[in-house]
Structure 1
């Protein structure tokens, strides 16, 4: 559903689709290998092997979109902003949390309710099973929502240098944390120290977009392929130096999120400024994929795990790559259908309750008052 606070740009939904699809392919690859299938190993396949990079795209895109809204509105009503964010993420997130606590019913403790605010830490119920494991990102998203109106205000007052200062501070914390934690993968992958710079980079990209939009439109045909090449390079580098799940402690993780997010920020800038239209059917499909991306992201692991445990490997062609492609298409289509249902049943009714939270809303409220 389109934002009430800024002109709709379908390119942003298309990037959401890309992020959700990359994470899906990452988890499909893990399940497929778990069933005995041949895993990918080529650097050219790093976007799938390290497809968790889609999370970095989601975070960078959040910073970009909300900073664009702040620059457009110039003023954000804090209470209304949080109200909209709660309506956006909480209904489906609470449903997932209830599923997680139901699964872990025999081990559940009342204090575990606090994990509603910290799904990315410790032994959160949502982290105890692959069925709900994707929900760890929600706590980081909401932390960003809590502080974003302040960050946006200070950035508009002081410029990009204010946000650049945050990147320096976070890099210092990353370097210091590396010296005292031997599991740098999880520390940098799912915590404030490891991820918050990606939201900041997204905000910086939005300020560049607002200031140099005309230039970006001219260079977009070159910037899009260049940014794709950079993303492919940095995921291949990650796969070689600090692959997720196999290199628990590497200094590369100190700069990993900066490199990852820089590539995604350039793609966001290039793609949102790119004027030529895709074929109409492609535009509609990808835009719909972005619309349902939140449900797709939170539900895909459950469906993949269900199919892996109850159906297993399907070999209609008895040819390795053909069978794998067939399974990807079928599971992706099933996830798409499930996410569409979830969007219309769980998300959309609450999204219709959102309202404007920018300067116009504040002025209207003052006049009514």
Structure 2
């Protein structure tokens, strides 16, 4: 597929369109999750929506994003034998996510101009805690994950170096220690479910599990996998989300759900199985579908940050659609419309805001004359 900005693609790894497909899937899950709750679900648990756990609890797309980040960057570190230039790595990651995030933050600050405080500027680095301006409305609310992601970038080169030196056991020990901290924080917090959902403490193990998956793939996946692995992994995630919808919904009125002590970890393990099985699947999608998902993966960051605005505008124009007796049919039609519009806006945003900055990235790994740019 020809691209308008060919230099925006990473040369850290041989291009694997499967990872782009999964990034597209993650963005689509979050988009449909927001469509459902904004128009129909009212941000409440829906244990009776049989088979639709992936929709009711579609925030799981964020977990997939985090697992993918750990997997991708650990795969790069494995090829580079841990030789990452820390400053250049952070520069590249800043060029990747900050320009569009800064636009969204500017919009949020403008919307809240009358309540603005000078210290709100610090929420550029802490969009997931406290009272950030981005979290006051749906149209900018998805930005809360950016600070979690960037904090992982700050420590990743060290984690990768130690994991390569000490093996997978290093990451397993970190996850165990993290679970102990989670237990203590869970017992101290007044709203531990939300704390685990929205902080690095609650999410770091998802990045670490992605890193573990990359190490596992390098050590043990020596040939392509049968499609049964992909189907089994997908069914495992589906079943897990059905359980969550019924027994551990994020929207439960109970702010203290013990299941959430382990939920991000279990969720990440299921998504890691999806990443491993699909990335190494020996089959192929139909070419048209593969190209479409690959394009969706390319614009996934814009799609993730822009779809809230499209949903907001749709809510103002449509209210709660009741065109047909079934909410499923209504949700399908509204979701298709929101997706089409969001896709168009995201494509424009990618070309205009993201791609020019991506061309400014420099080298942060040099191995055997191989230049990496991610």
| Same fold, TM-score > 0.5, yes or no | yes
CA root-mean-square deviation:
2.1
Say whether residues 1:148 and 2:163 are aligned partners. no
Q: CA separation in 2, counterparts of 1:48 and 1:351?
A: 32
Q: Measure, in 1, the Cα distance between the counterparts of 2:9 and 2:276.
A: 20
Whether 1:226 and 2:236 are equivalent positions in the alignment is no
Structure 2 match to 1:326: 333
Pick from 143, 163, 182 the counterpart of residue 174 of structure 1.
182
Q: Relative to structure 1, is the Cα distance of residues 151 and 320 closer, same or farther in structure 2, using a 3 angstrom cutoff?
A: closer
Quick one: distance in 1 between partners of 2:19 and 2:276?
Answer: 10
> CA offset at residue 237 of structure 1?
1.8
Q: Which position in structure 2 is the counterpart of 1:367?
A: none
Aligned partners of 1:4 and 1:355 also within 8 Å: no
Q: 1:200 and 1:126 mapped to 2: Cα distance? A: 27
Number of residue pairs the alignment of both structures matches: 362
TM-score, normalised via structure 1 length = 0.93
* Structure 1 residues 122-163: Cα deviation after superposition (integer angstroms, max 9, x where no partner): 101111111111000000100000000000000000000000
- Is residue 35–residue 308 contact of structure 1 (8 Å, CA) maintained in 2? no
Task: State the 1:34 CA deviation.
Answer: 5.8
Cα distance in 2 for partners of 1:35, 1:242 equals: 17
Instruction: Flag as ranges the 4+ runs of structure 1 deviating above 4 A.
Output: 314-320, 361-364
**Aligned partners of 2:369 and 2:261: how far apart in 1?**
41
> Who is 1:253 aligned against?
260
**What is the CA-CA distance between 1:275 and the residue it aligns to?**
2.1
By percentage of residues, which structure has more helix? 1
Q: 2:40 & 2:298 partners in 1: Cα distance?
A: 30
Is 1:287 the counterpart of 2:290 in the alignment?
A: no
Structure 2: gaps of 5 or more residues: 1-7
Partner Cα separation in structure 1 for residue 239 and residue 198 of structure 2? 22
C-alpha contact (below 8 Å) 2:47/2:246 kept by paired residues: no
Structure 1 CA distance for aligned equivalents of residues 96 and 293 of structure 2: 20
Cα shift readout 1:52-111 (whole Å, capped 9, x = no counterpart): 000000000000000000001121111111111011000000000000000010011111
Q: Is the 8 A contact 2:47 2:245 kept in 1?
A: no
Q: Match for 1:2 among 6, 9, 13?
A: 9
Which of 195, 199, 202 is the equivalent residue of 2:207? 199
Q: How far did 1:228 drift?
A: 1.0
Residues 35 and 122 (structure 1), Cα distance of their counterparts in 2 relative to 1, 3 Å cut: closer
Q: Which moved more, 1:151-160 or 1:353-362?
A: 353-362
Q: 1:104 to 1:14 in 2, by over 3 A?
A: same
